[in-house]
Amino acid sequence: MAHVADFAAGRVNLLIATRTAEEGFDIPAANCVFRFDPIDHSVSYVQGRGRARAEGSSYTILAERADRPASMLAAAETQQLAIIASMQTPAGGAEAGGDGGRATWEAAERTAQLSRERNAAAKLRVTLGLEAQHSIALAELNLFCKRTKVELAEAVTAAPGGVAGNLVSMEYSSCLRTVRGEGQGATLKAARQAAAANLLARLAASLAAGAAAGASKAASAAAVPLRTV
């Protein structure tokens, strides 16, 4: 604690600490923070960045977890702040909400869903869009839906044109996209696998289109004051 006191008093201008400094210590505002260890969750991200709260400060992350990059944690913080803002009471005393509060909540939910879908796609064992991998397509699609918190809709009918077998239609619907796929097979299992593979292929196209649009938008937006090296 003596070192913290020296830093607070300005007797030293450098403080080296473990991640325990994220909380529980009254550390004065710093103008430059370097984070050497990967961040485990959004709370750790917010608390660590909160140490760089002096005016004009910088917060530099030197290592990331592959499954939890800084961009994902920043998106979680954005969602949290948006939810808080939608619940705050305005100066006039009226409860926050209405169209403005709902719009804020919906924007936060879209940000969170985008993060879920991107991370779920990165963890798939099949290549999105490769319909040849029918054997594990259904299991992977169900796992994708679980990770993105979307309930998969499914309908089964007889195969058209008098052909023996089944026609399965599946629909993935989130706040960002609604994608449908279908498949036909001699057995219900084969039809479901074909439908799952077809839906994964169409999801790939939808996600790719969304990523391209996001990249174009990001290129024209102002730079975010967060550096990862």
Structure tokens at 29: 């505002």
Do both 210 and 152 map to the same domain? yes
Phi-psi label, residue 174: left if phi above 0, alpha if psi -120 to 50, beta otherwise: beta
User: What is the Cα–Cα distance from 213 to 31, expressed in whole angstroms?
Assistant: 35
> Is 224 contained in some domain?
no
> Is 128 contained in some domain?
no
At residue 215, the pLDDT reads 57
Residue 174 has pLDDT above 60, yes or no: yes
Do both 208 and 169 map to the same domain? yes
Instruction: Give the end of a domain, one of 14, 39, 61.
Output: 61
- Domain of 166 in residue numbering reads as 134-215
Count the domains in the chain. 3
Residue 213 has pLDDT above 60, yes or no: yes
Least confident span in 63-77, 130-144, 210-224: 210-224
Do both 155 and 201 map to the same domain? yes
> Is 106 contained in some domain?
yes
Which CATH number characterizes residue 15's domain?
3.40.50.300
Q: How far is CA 187 from CA 86, 164, 166, 195, in A?
A: 50, 9, 6, 12
pLDDT tens for 52-105 read 777 777 878 887 777 777 777 777 777 777 777 666 655 544 444 455 567 777
At residue 164, the pLDDT reads 83
More confident residue, 213 or 62: 62
Do both 118 and 177 map to the same domain? no
Instruction: Give the end of a domain, one of 78, 102, 122.
Output: 122
Reported as a pLDDT band with limits 50, 70 and 90, residue 35 is confident
Do both 55 and 112 map to the same domain? no
> Is 101 contained in some domain?
yes
pTM: 0.52
User: What is the Cα–Cα distance from 47 to 22, expressed in whole angstroms?
Assistant: 5
> Is 76 contained in some domain?
yes
> Is 88 contained in some domain?
yes
Which CATH number characterizes residue 179's domain?
3.30.160.20
